[in-house]
Amino acid sequence: MKKYRVAIVGATGAVGREMLRCVIQYHFPYESITCLASSRSKGKILEQDGMQFVVEELTTESFNDIDVAFFSAGGSISKEFVPIAVSHGVVCIDNTSYFRMHKDVPLVVPEVNAEDLKWHHGIIANPNCSTIQMVSALKRLDDVFDIQRIVVSTYQACSGAGNAGMQELHDQSLAVLQDQPVEAHVLPAAADAKHYPIAFNCIPQIDLFDPINEGYTKEEMKMVNETQKMYHKPIDINVTCVRVPVLRGHSESIYIETAKPIDLATAKDLLAHSTGVELMDDISHQIYPMPILNVGSPTVYVGRVRKDLNKENALSLWVVADQLMKGAAYNSIDIGLKMIEMNLL
Ligand SMILES: NC(=O)c1ccc[n+]([C@@H]2O[C@H](COP(=O)([O-])OP(=O)(O)OC[C@H]3O[C@@H](n4cnc5c(N)ncnc54)[C@H](OP(=O)(O)O)[C@@H]3O)[C@@H](O)[C@H]2O)c1
CA of 207 to the centre of ligand 1 (A): 15
pLDDT value for 333: 98
Catalogue the active-site residues.
129, 250
CB 71 within 8 A of CB 82: yes
Distance (Å, whole) CA 282 – CA 305? 10
CA dist 198 and 145 (Å) reads 38
Q: What is the number of the ligand 1 atom nearest to the C-alpha of 98?
A: 45
Closest residue by Cα to atom 45, ligand 1, is: 74
Question: Residue 126 Cα, ligand 1 centroid: separation in angstroms?
Answer: 14
- Establish whether residue 72 lines the binding site of ligand 1, counting it when its CB lies within 6 angstroms of any ligand atom: yes
Same domain, 90 and 142: no
133 ligand 1 Cβ < 6 A: no
Mode of pairing for the β-strands spanning 147-156 and 250-258: antiparallel
β partners of residue 125: 94, 107
* Per-residue pLDDT at 1: 87
Mean pLDDT per 10-residue interval, the chain, length 345 residues? 97 98 98 98 98 98 98 98 98 98 98 98 98 98 98 98 97 98 89 90 96 96 98 97 98 98 98 97 98 97 98 98 98 98 97
Asked whether residue 179 falls in the same domain as residue 319, the answer is yes
Whether residues 137 and 116 fall in one domain: no
Those residues with Cβ within 8 angstroms of residue 339's Cβ, 6 or more apart along the chain or in another chain: 91, 117, 124, 345
Distance 12 CA to ligand 1 centre (A): 8
| Cβ 12 under 6 angstroms from ligand 1 | yes
Cα 145 from chain centre: 25
For the CA of 324, the closest atom of ligand 1 is: 3
319, 133 contact by CB (below 8 A): yes
Check which CATH number belongs to the domain holding 259 and give it.
3.30.360.10
What's the pLDDT score for residue 191? Answer: 72
Does ligand 1 have an atom closer than 6 angstroms to the CB of 38? yes
Determine the pLDDT at residue 225.
98
Measured by CA distance, the residue closest to atom 36 of ligand 1 is: 10
Same domain, 188 and 254: yes
pLDDT at 228 (0 to 100): 98
| Ligand 1 contact, 41 CB (< 6 A) | yes
Indicate whether 319 and 332 sit together in one domain: no
Whether residue 270 sits in one domain with residue 176: yes
From 9, 20, 21, 38, the mutation candidate for ligand 1 (largest count of ligand atoms within 8 A of CB) is: 38
pLDDT reported for residue 19: 98
Please name the residue whose Cα sits nearest to atom 24 of ligand 1. 73
Total domain count, the chain? 2
DSSP, residue by residue, 103-155: TTS-B--HHHHGGGGGG-SSEEEPPPHHHHHHHHHHHHHHHHH-EEEEEEEEE
Distance 54 CA to ligand 1 centre (A): 17
How many A from CA of 185 to the centre of ligand 1? Answer: 17
188 lines ligand 1 (CB under 6 A): no
Closest CA relative to residue 327, chosen from 97, 12, 10, 48: 97
What is the 113 CA–ligand 1 centroid distance (Å)? Answer: 26
Q: Is the CB of 160 under 6 A from ligand 1?
A: yes
User: Count of CB atoms within 10 A of residue 74's CB?
Assistant: 17
Are 174 and 50 contained in the same domain? no
Domain of 189 in residue numbering reads as: 131-323
Q: How far, in Å, from the CA of 143 to the mean position of ligand 1?
A: 35
Q: Is 216 left (phi over 0), alpha (psi -120 to 50) or beta?
A: beta
177 and 287 both lie in a single domain: yes
Q: Is 107 in the pocket of ligand 1 (CB under 6 A)?
A: no
Statement to judge: residues 237 and 91 lie in one domain: no
Are residues 279 and 194 both part of a single domain?
A: yes
The one-letter code for the residue type at 190 is: A
Q: Based on the domain organization, do 224 and 150 belong to the same domain?
A: yes
Q: What per-residue confidence (pLDDT) applies to 189?
A: 66
Give the pTM.
0.97
Query: Residues 19, 65: one domain?
Result: yes
57 lines ligand 1 (CB under 6 A): no
Ligand 1 proximity of 153 Cβ (cutoff 6 Å): no
Q: Nearest 5 degrees, angle CA 140-CA 296-CA 70?
A: 80
CATH no. for residue 51? 3.40.50.720
Which residue lies with its CA nearest to atom 21 of ligand 1?
A: 13
